Amino acid sequence: GAVVSQHPSRVICKSGTSVKIECRSLDFQATTMFWYRQFPKQSLMLMATSNEGSKATYEQGVEKDKFLINHASLTLSTLTVTSAHPEDSSFYICSALGYEQFFGPGTRLTVL
């Protein structure tokens, strides 16, 4: 299957800071990427759909001003968690849509 990477794999930050997570499709171009969040012992929750060259589409209940998504190229989408708080601590997973949806390995965010 196709390869999707995420960076960083884990990050610890102080409350109030912003954190950027990168998602790259390594061997194919992806017009569409998706961002998910997963809390312990729970399923993945879709946060937003990211389309190259246009604004992201956020799922209901997801604050677009808090979770900034940029999809500037066909191989890179970024998620910035602004003014992070402890309740934002979670496992963030991206995926890229090729002939199937291929997932990154996830980023573990811990906000102190």
Partner 1 sequence: DAKTTQPNSMESNEEEPVHLPCNHSTISGTDYIHWYRQLPSQGPEYVIHGLTSNVNNRMASLAIAEDRKSSTLILHRATLRDAAVYYCILRAPLLHNQGGKLIFGQGTELSVKP
What is the token pair recorded at 11?
A: 């990050």
Question: Near partner 1 by CB under 8 A, which window of 12-20, 42-50, 61-69, 77-85?
Answer: 42-50
Asked if 44 is part of the footprint of partner 1 (rule: CB under 8 A), the reply reads yes
Asked if 46 is part of the footprint of partner 1 (rule: CB under 8 A), the reply reads yes
Per CB under 8 A, which of residues 67..96 are in contact with partner 1? 91, 93, 95
Size of the site for partner 1 (CB under 8 A): 23
Task: Name the site residues for partner 1 (rule: CB under 8 A).
Answer: 1, 4, 6, 32, 34, 36, 43-46, 49, 91, 93, 95, 97, 100-106, 108
